[in-house]
Amino acid sequence: MDKVKIGVIGGSGLYELIENPEYMVLKTPFGETPRIEVGHVKGRKVAFLPRHGKPGVKKKVGHAVPPFKINFKANVYGLRMLGVERIIATNACGSLNMKINPGDIVLPDQFIDFTKLRETTFFDGETAVSIWRDKPPIKTVAHVDFTDPYCPELRKLIFEACVSLGLKCHVQGTYVCTEGPRFETPAEIKMFRVLGGDVVGMTSIPEAVLARELTMCYASVSVSTNWAAGISKEKITHEEVVDLFSKRITQVREIIKRAILAIPKERRCRCKDALKGALPR
């Protein structure tokens, strides 16, 4: 099979992204992936992975796995096995920044990790990890640089896609990732604001981290679906989040399509060199 160099990770509204998809479940050293769709987006080969899909199941399953149980390692590794070099992810988030209204699109450029129970590295010193097709797998410990946690090149392309569609988009934002599945308390949100957080969600970490460890580019199209707890007096409901996200999903799909078409063949960012200087000598 031809290499698939572009991957998209997201939820149910993106199932219609890929033209004439082939379906596959991949076995990785970390477990099975959910059903991945591989096909084309206007001539470019793309793989779509439903983040909350049930691992190992070759039929379409909706929001089956809660954030804290997602096998992020199998998901990200599976895409790399296909040859993916760049990942565009989508997710819903709550806003704690008065300038980011519900309905706005945010392209995070930084994150703060408040997850607790997740495995956030491929490099445990025990598992052989295959990153490059022309080199043997590596079994090591690594400390990867995260000065630019989200790929600047991909973020720029996504921003340009938003502008070309006339959509309001925040080109920067600090994404606070919580463990979930409960929403945050007002006290936690107050703390996140003091720390410099702009939006809060449950899925970007460790996805962004694992992608970088495998030298992939990763950027996220985050949709602000609600005010975080305490910012508004209203109670937060999952229903409201899903509702607003699905209202935006057609736009998100269009943004992703345009960004994919604009992706240049060669990567000019530093993501591909993520392991240079990160491995023990």
271 binds Zn ion (CB under 5 A): yes
107 binds Zn ion (CB under 5 A): no
256 binds Zn ion (CB under 5 A): no
| Measured distance CA(192)–CA(113) in Å, rounded | 11
Q: Which residues contact 22 (CB under 8 A, 6 or more apart)?
A: 37, 38, 39
* Complex with Zn ion: residue 84 or 231, whichever CB lies closer: 84
Q: Binding Zn ion by CB under 5 A: which of 100, 217, 231, 274?
A: 217
Q: How far is the CB of 214 from Zn ion (least distance, A)?
A: 12
219 binds Zn ion (CB under 5 A): no
**Unique residue bearing structure tokens 């309001």:** 168
| Measured distance CA(51)–CA(70) in Å, rounded | 7
Q: Binding Zn ion by CB under 5 A: which of 64, 138, 191, 269?
A: 269
Site stretch for Zn ion (CB under 5 A), options 37-45, 116-124, 180-188, 213-221: 213-221
Q: Which residues contact 32 (CB under 8 A, 6 or more apart)?
A: 25, 26, 55, 56, 74
84 binds Zn ion (CB under 5 A): no
Bridge partners, 222 (sequence order): 91, 106
Backbone conformation region of residue 233, classed left if phi is above 0, alpha if psi is from -120 to 50, else beta: alpha
Q: How far is the CB of 148 from Zn ion (least distance, A)?
A: 8
The residue count for binding Zn ion (CB under 5 A) is: 5
For 30, the 3-state DSSP assignment is coil
275 binds Zn ion (CB under 5 A): no
What part of residues 140-159 is at the interface with Zn ion (CB under 5 A)?
Answer: 151, 153
Torsion of CA 150, 24, 63, 111, to 10 degrees: -10
Q: How far is the CB of 271 from Zn ion (least distance, A)?
A: 3
Residues in contact with Zn ion by CB under 5 A are: 151, 153, 217, 269, 271
